[in-house]
Copies of this chain bind each other. A is one copy, B any other.
Amino acid sequence: MAKEASYKDKKVITIGIVRELTGLSERQIRYYEERKLIFPERTSGGSRKYSFADIELLMEIAEKIEDGVQTYEIRQEMKKKNADATKLRNKMIQGQLNAQFGTRKR
């Protein structure tokens, strides 16, 4: 859906560097993955690879957890955000189509 997958979204950062960049422990980083909040890729050898976007997301997650939000709730928020974004995207595509071909009732 996205196009070039620029620097920000390329999964190229190992967990040790992520630890340094976020200040989180590896345990925390892995746990958030277990709770489906973050989705690193893997090298052929099995090591996790993260993107800069992942790092930013991790910091947001950590902040919420400090505020007492549970991982389950954070997951719900993320689901909702994705659903809304999809809806908006579809609405815009529909708008484009209507503009080009005219609005049609049924």
Residues of A within 8 A of B (CB): 7-8, 10, 12-14, 16-17, 20-21, 43, 49, 52
Contacts and interface: CB of A to CB of B under 8 A. Distances in A.
A17 B47 CA distance: 11
Nearest to A45: B16
| Identical copies of this chain, number | 2
- In the A-B complex, the 5 residue pairs with the smallest Cβ-Cβ separation, listed nearest first, are A7-B7, A12-B17, A7-B52, A12-B13, A7-B8
Given A7-B52, A16-B43, A17-B49, 12 more contacts: A7-B7, A7-B8, A10-B52, A12-B12, A12-B13, A12-B17, A12-B21, A13-B13, A14-B14, A14-B17, A17-B43, A20-B43
Contacts of A17: 12, 14, 43, 49
15 contacts: A7-B7, A7-B8, A7-B52, A10-B52, A12-B12, A12-B13, A12-B17, A12-B21, A13-B13, A14-B14, A14-B17, A16-B43, A17-B43, A17-B49, A20-B43
